[in-house]
Amino acid sequence: MSRSAPLVAGLLAWVLGVACGGPGEQAPAPAPGAADLGPASATRSLTMRDISYAPGGLELRIDEVTELRLENRGTITHDFTVDTLPAELAVVRAGGRMSNQRSDVHIALDGGRSAAVRIRVTVPGEYRFYCSVAGHAQLGMEGTLTVR
């Protein structure tokens, strides 16, 4: 009996695989716009506090793959949100919620958490980033992402 156990297990996995692996079912999708960007050639860091960003602005080079490191040194949840950003994004290290329905970039971190993404912005410009937690942007938790 013990000699046939691996075969039974293999059949069971195959049956489950057929039952669960319909064309409509796939592995959990990565964040919107996720892409294999390759290694980053630049790094930027942004620290969140209660209630501010440091620095208050970021500069990226057009088409350059940049690793953006985010750290929440505050005690409450903050996020980094850009509503419209023509960019490719790849999650390097997830430390919180990495997307929402409304924004091209949305990374929410509880106090003490950090995350990193690789990002490549494809259109130069100035883009507003902000914390979407109610009231935080109004208290100054916003800045400009400059891409040139």
3-state secondary structure of 9: helix
Q: How far is the CB of 109 from Cu ion (least distance, A)?
A: 10
Q: Before 51, cis peptide (omega within 30)?
A: yes
Q: Residues binding Cu ion: what is the number (CB under 5 A)?
A: 5
List b or e across 94-129, with b for residues whose CB sees 16 or more CB atoms inside 10 angstroms: bbbebbeeebbbbbbbeeebbbbbbbbbeeeeebeb
Q: How far is the CB of 136 from Cu ion (least distance, A)?
A: 3
Q: Of 40 and 145, which CB lies nearer to Cu ion in the complex structure?
A: 145
Contact between 133 and Cu ion per CB under 5 A = yes
Contact between 78 and Cu ion per CB under 5 A = yes
Q: Of 68 and 131, which CB lies nearer to Cu ion in the complex structure?
A: 131
d(CA 55, CA 101): 27
Contact between 60 and Cu ion per CB under 5 A = no
Contact between 106 and Cu ion per CB under 5 A = no
Candidate list 131, 143, 145, 147; residue touching Cu ion; CB under 5 A: 131
Q: Of 96 and 118, which CB lies nearer to Cu ion in the complex structure?
A: 96
Q: How far is the CB of 34 from Cu ion (least distance, A)?
A: 24
3-state secondary structure of 13: helix
Residue spans of alpha helices (H) in the chain: 5-20
Residue 84 burial class via C-beta count within 10 angstroms: exposed 0-12, middle 13-18, buried 19 and up? exposed
- The CA-CA-CA angle for residues 121, 131, 114, to 5°, reads 75
Q: How far is the CB of 98 from Cu ion (least distance, A)?
A: 16
Q: Of 65 and 98, which CB lies nearer to Cu ion in the complex structure?
A: 98
Q: Of 12 and 54, which CB lies nearer to Cu ion in the complex structure?
A: 54
